[in-house]
Chains A and B, each alone.
Chain A
Amino acid sequence: MSPHKNVREVMLEAVPSLRAFAISLCGNVDRADDLVQEALLRALANLGSFEPGTNMSAWLFTILRNLFRSEYRKRRREVEDVDGSYAEQLTSLPEQSTRLEINEFRQALKLLPPEQREALILVGASGFSYEEAAKICGCAVGTIKSRVNRARSRLAELLSIDDASDFGADRETRAVVNSDLSNTRRT
Chain B
Amino acid sequence: MNMRKPSRRRTAMDLQGSELKPVAKLGPDIKAKIGQQLRVMYSEVVNQGVPDRFVEILRGLDEPTDEGLKNESS
In the complex, are the beta carbons of A16 and B24 less than 8 A apart? no
Q: Which chain A residues border B18 with CB–CB below 8 Å?
A: 115
Name which residue of chain B comes closest to A7, CB basis. B61
The yes or no answer to A55 lying at the interface (CB within 8 A) is no
The residue that B38 contacts in the complex, of A4, A113, A121, A150, with Cβ under 8 A, is A121
Q: Check A92–B48 contact: CB distance below 8 A.
A: yes
Whether B61 pairs with A11 at a CB distance below 8 angstroms is: yes
- Hey, which chain A residues are within 8 Å of B72, CB to CB? none
Residues of A in contact, count (CB < 8 Å): 52
A8 with B44: CB separation less than 8 A: no
With A12-B50, A37-B53, A153-B26 as contacts: A102 and B65 at CB distance below 8 Å = no
Q: Is the interface of B mostly helix, strand, loop or mixed?
A: helix
Q: In this complex, what residue of A is CB-closest to B22?
A: A153
> Is A5 part of the binding interface, using a Cβ–Cβ cutoff of 8 Å?
yes
B4 is an interface residue with CB less than 8 A from chain A: yes
**B58: Cβ under 8 A from any A Cβ:** yes
Determine whether A135 belongs to the interface, using a CB cutoff of 8 Å to chain B: no
A181 to B42, CA, bound (A): 16
B6 to chain A, nearest CB (A): 10
Q: Name 11 interchain pairs, CB-CB below 8 A, sorted by A.
A: A5-B61, A8-B58, A11-B58, A19-B48, A20-B43, A44-B58, A92-B48, A115-B18, A149-B26, A156-B30, A167-B37
Contacts A146-B17, A162-B4 aside, 15 further interface pairs with beta carbons under 8 A come to: A4-B62, A5-B67, A16-B45, A16-B46, A102-B37, A102-B40, A102-B41, A109-B41, A120-B38, A125-B41, A152-B26, A152-B31, A155-B34, A163-B27, A167-B37
| Chain A residues at the B interface, C-beta cutoff of 8 Å | 1-5, 7-8, 11-12, 15-17, 19-20, 23-24, 33, 36-37, 40-41, 44, 90, 92-93, 98, 101-102, 105-106, 109, 113, 115, 120-121, 124-126, 146, 149-150, 152-153, 155-156, 161-164, 167, 177, 181
Q: Nearest 4 A-B pairs (CB), nearest first?
A: A2-B65, A164-B29, A125-B42, A20-B45
